[in-house]
Structure 1
């Protein structure tokens, strides 16, 4: 498939070519050597079909639209991806005496995380399969499986190893 044949199906068109970008489906590309070199330096590219008509692509490394010239040719083979339903998980993080902890890190992975507010409360979008890593300086890091929970309460214990030094 030649890029120029996709121009009617893209969201944005530039003067010198077509811009593609997205955050969802992963696509396998077969490209010219010039364009393949660009992709290697960018490390990863993702694609998505929007509304059944628009094919869009983004470089995750640069987090900016990539430019594809109409002279570059490629074939597209979309890998099926199971979309897991996300839920808004809310909760509170307390110390052993029941006082809220401010600024506790709640991380699902390297790119999805949050911190607790002044009342120890937090909110994060996760899937039922998610595992949260809850950490705070001076306290033992905890691992929490989300499952079907919509609201959780986490009690942090002081790290006894810090008192022995």
Structure 2
């Protein structure tokens, strides 16, 4: 087996969102079938950024944009919201099963490391955990929605 070819495959998997790669070559140089299986289990953490200052209450879970600032509102820097972005392409689930209570809802207090949702990618269920403690102010995806890499999922007002 060509080790440079194999190293190239490993590098390709490391740089991509692929979790497994199966290759079967029949009729290799030695006449024997060759099978290569490379698997990478992603470490899921919340990708984060800081949003524009909040201008009072944030709309419910269906909202996808921050509220427009009002003329009477003077948002302090401490009112910045922490954005939780999708670290992968997948399907967003708010609970472990249909009919089960959601992991979090708007207004809930969360701790750093607490599970916010599940992202299903390639039949793997990945728990997405909060990087900050605070209050959930917005949930931007609906249950069972497909989500893209970098898509806004939650806004959390940090402690």
Q: TM-score, normalised by structure 2?
A: 0.19
Q: Which has the higher contact order (CA 8 A, sep 6+)?
A: 2
Q: TM-score, normalised by structure 1?
A: 0.18
